[in-house]
Copies of this chain bind each other. A is one copy, B any other.
């Protein structure tokens, strides 16, 4: 959000951008593989063959650099969901697509997703409700949220979803459930496979589908479709 608005084409500026993206690329590479623990300024500097202090000519702090990584990941995540939401598929399939795309994108880069939702450090910035929503709506988190709200509304208009739900609150519930399965898959090693009877085992993709089916069902106007909807379809 600095000078990206109008990309100056001075040769110096071009060189600067090249080094900057080299740093970001190295950071992305390391962070994807080893997460925040493996990503140190010194290692980054070594990777691009500069001195550690050089990084600070391009980023104010390590946190600033990390924020940029998370930001661009979040944009990928969001655009993936948005693309799924704009498909021509029938409603339920479209909702399921959004859901599974979200979760799959999240667990494809576990460190990014987990880090993007880890900001417990600053519980100080809690402005009034107005400012809060305004900021939230503008953020990419807010945009993703509005996509989900739109889906809920559509389902209600078509008559598939129960119309008595507040679409905003329902969207929050949906988001929370998506968030939960994504993080559980990330943090619990071999999560969905763990079962007492291996013959009833379930792989990750099947479990995501099951979870999506459950969430869809929770919003449906009664009567609902049978429970096994969307399960055994490897």
Asked if A228 is at the interface (CB within 8 A of a chain B CB), the reply is: yes
* B120 close to A169 (CB less than 8 A): no
Residue of B173, B194, B210 near A173 (CB, 8 A) is B210
* B222 close to A222 (CB less than 8 A): yes
* B121 close to A37 (CB less than 8 A): yes
Number of copies: 2
| Complex: A190 Cα to B190 Cα, angstroms | 32
Contacts of A202 in B (CB 8 A): 169
Q: Which residue of chain B is the closest to A228 with respect to CB atoms?
A: B164
Asked if A91 is at the interface (CB within 8 A of a chain B CB), the reply is: no
Asked if A95 is at the interface (CB within 8 A of a chain B CB), the reply is: no
Asked if A189 is at the interface (CB within 8 A of a chain B CB), the reply is: yes
Count of chain A residues with a beta carbon within 8 Å of a chain B beta carbon: 69
Residue of B111, B164, B198 near A227 (CB, 8 A) is B164
* A184 close to B194 (CB less than 8 A): no
* B169 close to A207 (CB less than 8 A): yes
Chain B CB within 10 Å, residue with most, of A111, A172, A193: A172
Contacts of A195 in B (CB 8 A): 129, 133, 168
A residues 57-96 near B (Cβ < 8 Å) are: none
A residues 183-223 near B (Cβ < 8 Å) are: 183-184, 186-196, 198, 200-202, 207, 210-211, 214-215, 217-219, 222-223
Q: How far is the CB of A203 from chain B (nearest CB, A)?
A: 11
Provide a sorted-by-A list of 22 A–B residue pairs whose CB atoms are within 8 angstroms: A35-B121, A114-B120, A117-B183, A117-B184, A117-B187, A117-B188, A122-B189, A130-B198, A132-B190, A133-B194, A164-B227, A166-B200, A168-B200, A169-B200, A173-B211, A176-B180, A176-B184, A176-B211, A180-B181, A183-B183, A215-B218, A223-B223
The 3 closest A-B pairs by CB, nearest first: A180-B180, A218-B218, A222-B223
